[in-house]
């Protein structure tokens, strides 16, 4: 028998962003049935996945996670983390598990049934599906996946749907650490398993996964409560200073999606065209009319990153009006001088790029405003086959630019104001998304193996 409603407490937009204790306590006072948090995003770029690093610091992540585990233990409700460690690959999940074990040891938690759901897809699986023509780019400008690009990719993850997470709940898991998951899936899994409508469950998940970002004012550093019922769901912030309005929740439905009401997810399409948002008083918004339909064949989104170069960069300011007027010409002349200086290097081994903040750095070629400011921030980078080439060439770009005698110059002592010494910053490797594709699968459960562990050891 299904209960009348099912409540989920979402503490924040990304695990490690932080959330106020008072909001979390208010949320817990509403007796949620589960605590669920999304830890992932591709928004921070391909480096997190490619270099196997997290979006947030270990300290911030542990601080948030330990509060969730403590509440889950005290109340005997499940805690689910989606896209562990940010990108949800094995290294990110392992990192999360090591933090979890630390939390268990420090708090003497024993005998906690924990499920780990892996989202790494073996390259052989991807290669076989590629061969079979069952992989395609997510949008028009995604470069086609080739065997070569796949080989250069650090590792591939797929976004899981609710199915494996619901299975782990069914098997009695009290803590579930998911690898890469479709952001709403962990929320949807709990609500679907509790017997509620998948359309409402996914739509509620889509809102809750960002914490209180759907409020007015919106923030990813505060909690949300979602309560799903037979024919609707309601969202509200436990922090009395944050309120949901029709506009704020509808606006959030638009957030970072390519279409306003058709939201493709693993094996399904969420259709929000006819859903309605009503203000139910006291900062509560009630949503109904969400629909979902299967999208067959079942396809999962794959993500992978490859290393493309190494970078060294410099930030400097320019205040001289003549240099500002001629900035792009001078930058071209500097580049030419460097090309001549390093004639012994293969020209394909490095690139020099200039970004003129105060002119067109934010939009680049898409910028239509041509007026420059009275001062410019000039960022220049050298991206190269090796870090050594990047740093060598960048140092020469810096010294050449600093002293370059452009026609008509009166400021003959130097062209650049460096805010820092040393001025050159070794950035390390640069990555790109080499895999951002949909892959057909016959079995969305088998792609995401579930491993059960006893956290803190069995007693």
Partner 1 sequence: MTRLYDIAKVLRSKNSGPFQVTLDILFESVEDFRRVAGSGRLTRERIAALYRLNESDIAEIVFHEPMLGIKITYDRTGASSGTVGERDVYGAQQHAPLLDIEIP
**Residues in the site for partner 1, rule: CB under 8 A?**
42-47, 138-142, 247, 250-251, 253-261, 272-277, 308-309, 311, 351, 353, 355, 361-366, 368, 381, 383, 430-433, 436
Sign, CA dihedral 400-406-411-412, equals: positive
Give the whole-angstrom CA distance, residue 28 versus residue 59: 23
Q: Which is nearer to partner 1, 140 or 410 (CB)?
A: 140
Q: Which is nearer to partner 1, 20 or 264 (CB)?
A: 264
Reading the block at residue 171, the tokens are 């098997």
CB of residue 381 vs partner 1: minimum separation in angstroms? 8
CB of residue 357 vs partner 1: minimum separation in angstroms? 10
Residue 55 gets the label, from left (phi > 0), alpha (psi -120 to 50) or beta, of alpha
CB of residue 449 vs partner 1: minimum separation in angstroms? 26
Helices (H) and strands (E) in the chain, counts: 13, 19
Give the whole-angstrom CA distance, residue 63 versus residue 349: 43
CB of residue 402 vs partner 1: minimum separation in angstroms? 24
CB of residue 360 vs partner 1: minimum separation in angstroms? 9
3-state secondary structure of 426: strand
Q: Which is nearer to partner 1, 101 or 279 (CB)?
A: 279
Q: Which is nearer to partner 1, 261 or 406 (CB)?
A: 261
Give the whole-angstrom CA distance, residue 55 versus residue 16: 9
Give the whole-angstrom CA distance, residue 5 versus residue 196: 8
Q: Which is nearer to partner 1, 260 or 321 (CB)?
A: 260
How many CA atoms are closer than 13 Å to the CA of 244, on its beta-carbon side?
32
Strand positions, DSSP E, 45-191: 79-82, 112-117, 135-137, 153-158, 175-178
CB 209 within 8 A of CB 13: yes
Helix (H) or strand (E) holding 324: helix 321-325
CB of residue 303 vs partner 1: minimum separation in angstroms? 9
Instruction: Compute CA distances 262 → 224, 268, 392, whole Å.
Output: 24, 10, 49
CB of residue 168 vs partner 1: minimum separation in angstroms? 27
Q: Which is nearer to partner 1, 345 or 445 (CB)?
A: 345
Q: Which is nearer to partner 1, 109 or 427 (CB)?
A: 427
Q: Which is nearer to partner 1, 318 or 382 (CB)?
A: 382
CB of residue 138 vs partner 1: minimum separation in angstroms? 6
Peptide bond into 445 cis (omega under 30): no
């Amino acid at each position: 028998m299904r209960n009348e409603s099912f409540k989920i407490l979402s503490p924040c937009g990304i695990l490690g962003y932080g959330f106020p204790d008072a909001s979390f306590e208010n949320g817990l006072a509403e007796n949620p049935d589960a605590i669920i948090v999304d830890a992932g995003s591709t928004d921070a770029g391909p480096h997190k996945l490619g270099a196997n690093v997290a979006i947030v610091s270990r300290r911030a992540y542990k601080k948030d996670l330990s509060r969730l585990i403590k509440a889950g233990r005290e109340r005997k409700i499940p805690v689910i983390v989606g896209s562990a460690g940010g990108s949800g690959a094995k290294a990110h999940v392992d990192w999360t598990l090591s933090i979890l074990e630390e939390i268990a040891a420090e708090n003497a938690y024993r005998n906690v049934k924990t499920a780990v759901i892996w989202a790494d897809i073996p390259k052989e699986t991807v290669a076989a599906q590629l061969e079979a023509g069952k992989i395609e780019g997510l949008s028009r400008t995604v470069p086609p996946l080739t065997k070569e690009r796949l080989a250069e990719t650090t590792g591939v993850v797929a976004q899981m749907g609710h199915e494996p997470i619901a299975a782990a709940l069914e098997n009695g898991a009290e803590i579930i650490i998911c690898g890469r998951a479709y952001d709403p899936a962990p929320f949807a899994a709990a609500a679907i398993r509790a017997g509620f409508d998948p359309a409402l469950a996914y739509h509620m998940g889509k809102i809750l996964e960002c914490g209180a970002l759907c409020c007015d004012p919106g923030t990813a550093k505060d909690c949300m409560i979602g309560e799903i019922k037979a024919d609707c769901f309601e969202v509200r912030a436990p922090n009395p200073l944050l309120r949901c309005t029709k506009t704020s929740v509808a606006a959030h439905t638009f957030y970072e999606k390519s279409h306003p009401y058709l939201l493709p997810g693993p094996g399904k399409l969420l259709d929000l065209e006819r859903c309605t948002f009503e203000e139910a008083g006291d900062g509560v918004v009630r949503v109904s009319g969400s629909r979902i339909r299967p999208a067959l064949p079942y396809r999962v989104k794959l993500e992978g990153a490859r290393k493309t170069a190494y970078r060294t960069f410099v930030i400097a300011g320019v205040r001289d009006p003549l240099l500002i007027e001629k900035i792009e010409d001078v930058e071209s002349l500097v580049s030419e001088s460097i090309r001549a200086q390093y004639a012994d290097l293969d020209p394909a081994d490095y690139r020099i790029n200039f970004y003129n903040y105060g002119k067109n750095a934010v939009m680049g070629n898409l910028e239509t405003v041509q007026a420059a400011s009275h001062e410019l921030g000039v960022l220049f980078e050298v991206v190269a086959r090796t870090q050594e080439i990047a740093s060598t060439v960048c140092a020469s770009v810096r010294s050449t630019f600093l002293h370059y005698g452009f026609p008509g110059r009166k400021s003959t002592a130097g062209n650049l104001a460096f805010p820092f010494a040393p001025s050159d910053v070794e950035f390390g490797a640069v990555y790109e998304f080499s895999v951002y594709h949909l892959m057909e699968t016959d079995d969305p459960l088998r792609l995401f193996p579930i491993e059960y562990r006893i956290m803190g050891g069995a007693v």
